[in-house]
Amino acid sequence: MAILTILEFPDPRLRTVAKPVQVVDGSIRRLIKDMFETMYDAPGVGLAATQVNIHQRIVVIDVSDDQNQPLVFINPEIAVLDDTLRDHDEGCLSVPGFYEQVERPEHVRVKALNEHGEAFELEPDGLTAVCIQHELDHLNGKLFVDYLSSIKRQRIRRKLEKIHKQAL
Ligand code: NI
């Protein structure tokens, strides 16, 4: 297992649209293990492969307090079930230190493959529903800051660029 480097906004590689996984094999399962290790180490509740510069449609999530409810979504597809919206404070391992309210559909259905390549469906609620939508956005090159006003987004961008420059 390995802890992978997480790309940070405004890194342009975060804008890559990920490709579907063709075969769920041992190398994909190794990647998933590394993604969980990276996410738990951060710590975070969700991680998309895009964030570790691997542009395949893979998401891992664990919103439990004890890091014991891992969920894997390969090639996830989301259907919005009704027009109920909900505000939630979102953060992102690729936008460290910033939390902002984002409005998203509350009721969604997710179809995906698990780490054995088996299809499954889930109607997540609460934080899991927020998280899967946030992570699926990553696979499409989208970040939660894209939902904010451009003034807020630019402010976050400048602060992170300053931090990245200091770290060089
Ligand atoms: Ni994120």
Which burial class, exposed, middle or buried, applies to 157 when counting CB atoms under 10 A from its CB (0-12, 13-18, 19+)? middle
Is residue 47 a contact partner of residue 102, using CB atoms and an 8 Å limit?
A: no
For residue 126, how many other CB atoms are within 10 A of its CB?
11
Q: What is the per-residue pLDDT across 50-83, written as a single tens digit (0 to 9) for each?
A: 999 999 999 999 999 999 999 999 999 999 999 9
Confidence label for 158 from pLDDT (cuts 50, 70 and 90): very high
Going from the Cα of 132 to the center of ligand 1, the distance in angstroms, rounded, reads 10
Going from the Cα of 159 to the center of ligand 1, the distance in angstroms, rounded, reads 17
Q: Calculate Rg over the CA atoms of the chain.
A: 15
Question: Is position 135 annotated as part of the catalytic site?
Answer: yes
Going from the Cα of 117 to the center of ligand 1, the distance in angstroms, rounded, reads 24
Which burial class, exposed, middle or buried, applies to 56 when counting CB atoms under 10 A from its CB (0-12, 13-18, 19+)? middle
Going from the Cα of 105 to the center of ligand 1, the distance in angstroms, rounded, reads 17
Q: What is the pLDDT of residue 61?
A: 98
Q: Is the pLDDT of residue 93 over 90?
A: yes
Query: 78 is written with which tokens?
Result: 């989301």
Query: 95 is written with which tokens?
Result: 């936008």
One of 90, 100, 106, 135 is an active-site residue; which one?
Answer: 135
Query: 67 is written with which tokens?
Result: 């890091």
Query: 87 is written with which tokens?
Result: 């505000």
